[in-house]
């Protein structure tokens, strides 16, 4: 888990990241979800590119049981 927390710090400091929340499913604590808020899709793309270059994406994929799912939402002000 140490590596995950180091990567969260990197994410929080990356240009364009407004927030990152780490959640765990109550009934299945092995299911962890990251909710990230980005200023733009372009900022997120740059972040993924940098994490891929650093080898982080490959490391995270090795820890997962399934491919990650990226979903994009727009804040509607409520």
Distance of alpha carbon 33 from the chain centroid: 8
Domain of 51, in residue numbers: 2-63
Q: How many domains does the chain have?
A: 1
Residue 6: inside a domain, yes or no?
yes
Residue 71: inside a domain, yes or no?
no
In sequence order, what are the residues at sequence separation of 6 or more whose Cβ sits closer than 8 angstroms to the Cβ of residue 15?
Answer: 43, 46
Residue 26: inside a domain, yes or no?
yes
65/18 Cα distance (integer angstroms): 28
pTM strictly above 0.85: no
> Residue 56 CB: number of other CB atoms within 10 A?
18
pLDDT tens figures, 20-78: 998 999 999 988 889 999 999 999 999 999 999 999 888 888 888 888 888 999 889 87
Residue 13: inside a domain, yes or no?
yes
């Amino acid at each position: 888990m140490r590596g995950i927390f180091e990567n969260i710090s990197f994410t929080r400091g990356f240009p364009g990241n407004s927030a990152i929340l780490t959640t765990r499913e109550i009934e299945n604590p092995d299911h962890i979800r990251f909710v990230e808020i980005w200023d733009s899709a372009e900022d997120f793309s740059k972040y993924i590119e940098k994490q891929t270059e650093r080898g982080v994406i490959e490391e995270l994929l090795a820890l997962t049981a399934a491919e990650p799912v990226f979903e994009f939402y727009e804040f509607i002000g409520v």
